[in-house]
């Protein structure tokens, strides 16, 4: 059974969440503080639900530790579950590597579908080897070839990497900072905010009007690539 770790100090929410997850066929384990969370072997879980306001600190510290210990690769996906709904908190959470952000009070159906979407995405990412697809776009990592509707598209190295990163994180909102940091890490090459905007614009143009709908602008936050049309 797939188990989900809930990091949440509110007993009422904790109880409701545990029951909900069990009904949906997941196992659930709960901890009520950061210190308890740090003692868990997170590799045993398929996903983590993280509250931000905890008695011994903020949920950010949990994400920071994953980052500091370089554990993101082996860590399960994290969904932040919080009453804070300000854009800057959402951006901060996504910037720090959270896979999604759900605000309280939440509709149980919505939370479950977000959980399933994150798990699906993670499963696909693990399986994806050489070819990535999104709608009629196909990217072959090995051969570094991109086609849209079977037509080969000529991209610069930067555009190719941007598209690959968007496709590897399909259905996930990537903040501008995450995208910029990704380029920085890979190349030590400076890509600024304007360059990013221009690259996305060129990429959309090259992929053709038929694929314009695949790269979505998430207003004020960043970009997201999706199969579905608007
Ligand atoms: Ca709390």
Q: Determine the distance separating the centroid of ligand 1 and the alpha carbon of 37, expressed in angstroms.
A: 14
Local confidence band at 69 (pLDDT 50, 70, 90 cut-offs): confident
Q: Determine the distance separating the centroid of ligand 1 and the alpha carbon of 36, expressed in angstroms.
A: 14
Model-level pTM? 0.71
DSSP H or E stretch at residue 151: strand 151-153
Q: Determine the distance separating the centroid of ligand 1 and the alpha carbon of 120, expressed in angstroms.
A: 27
Q: Specify whether the CB–CB gap between 97 and 185 falls below 8 A.
A: no
The predicted model gives 36-62 an average pLDDT of 95
The predicted model gives 148-166 an average pLDDT of 91
Q: Determine the distance separating the centroid of ligand 1 and the alpha carbon of 60, expressed in angstroms.
A: 12
| Portion of the chain with pLDDT greater than 90, in percent | 63
Local confidence band at 16 (pLDDT 50, 70, 90 cut-offs): very high
What does the pLDDT look like over 165-213, one tens digit per residue? Answer: 999 888 899 999 999 887 765 655 667 888 899 999 999 999 886 545 7
DSSP H or E stretch at residue 166: helix 157-168
pLDDT, position 104: 94
Q: Determine the distance separating the centroid of ligand 1 and the alpha carbon of 76, expressed in angstroms.
A: 21
pLDDT, position 186: 60
Q: Determine the distance separating the centroid of ligand 1 and the alpha carbon of 69, expressed in angstroms.
A: 25
The predicted model gives 41-52 an average pLDDT of 94
**Half-sphere exposure of residue 81: CA atoms within 13 angstroms, side-chain side:** 26
pLDDT, position 230: 44
Q: Determine the distance separating the centroid of ligand 1 and the alpha carbon of 44, expressed in angstroms.
A: 23
The predicted model gives 134-147 an average pLDDT of 89
Q: Determine the distance separating the centroid of ligand 1 and the alpha carbon of 14, expressed in angstroms.
A: 10
| Concatenated DSSP letters of 76-98 | PPEEEEES---HHHHHHHHHTT-
Q: Is the pLDDT of residue 127 over 90?
A: no
Range with lowest mean pLDDT among 50-64, 92-106, 201-215: 201-215
Q: Determine the distance separating the centroid of ligand 1 and the alpha carbon of 187, expressed in angstroms.
A: 39
The predicted model gives 119-146 an average pLDDT of 82
What's the Cα-to-Cα distance from 46 to each of 17, 137, 148, 215, 221, rounded to whole Å? 16, 29, 34, 28, 27
The long-range contacts involving 101-110, CB below 8 angstroms and separated by at least 24 positions, are: 104/13, 106/81, 108/20
The predicted model gives 31-57 an average pLDDT of 95
Q: Determine the distance separating the centroid of ligand 1 and the alpha carbon of 106, expressed in angstroms.
A: 14
Range with lowest mean pLDDT among 9-13, 27-31, 166-170: 166-170
**How many Cβ atoms from other residues are within 10 Å of residue 189's Cβ?**
12
Exposure b/e, 204-219, CB count within 10 A at least 16 = b = bebbeeebeebbbeee
Q: Is the pLDDT of residue 111 over 90?
A: yes
Q: Determine the distance separating the centroid of ligand 1 and the alpha carbon of 45, expressed in angstroms.
A: 21
């Amino acid at each position: 059974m797939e188990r989900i770790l809930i990091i949440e100090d509110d007993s009422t929410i904790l109880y409701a969440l545990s029951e909900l997850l069990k009904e949906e066929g997941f196992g659930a384990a709960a901890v009520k503080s950061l210190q308890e969370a740090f003692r868990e072997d997170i590799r045993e879980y398929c996903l983590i639900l993280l509250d931000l306001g905890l008695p011994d600190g903020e949920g950010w510290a949990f994400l920071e530790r994953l980052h500091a210990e370089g554990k993101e690769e082996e860590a399960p996906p994290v969904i932040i579950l919080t009453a804070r709904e300000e854009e800057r908190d959402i951006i901060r959470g996504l910037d720090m590597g959270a896979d999604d952000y759900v605000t309280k009070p939440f509709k149980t159906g919505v939370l479950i579908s977000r959980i399933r979407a994150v798990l699906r995405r993670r499963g696909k990412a693990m399986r994806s080897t050489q070819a990535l697809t999104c709608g009629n776009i196909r990217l072959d990592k090995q051969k570094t070839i991109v086609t849209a509707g079977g037509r080969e598209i000529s991209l610069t190295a930067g555009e190719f990497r941007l598209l690959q990163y968007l496709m590897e994180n399909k259905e996930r909102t990537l903040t501008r900072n995450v995208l910029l940091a990704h380029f920085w890490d890979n190349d030590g090459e400076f890509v600024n905010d304007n360059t990013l905007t221009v690259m996305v614009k060129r990429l959309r143009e090259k992929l053709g009007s038929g694929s314009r709908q695949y790269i979505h602008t998430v207003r004020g936050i960043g970009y997201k690539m999706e199969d579905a049309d608007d």
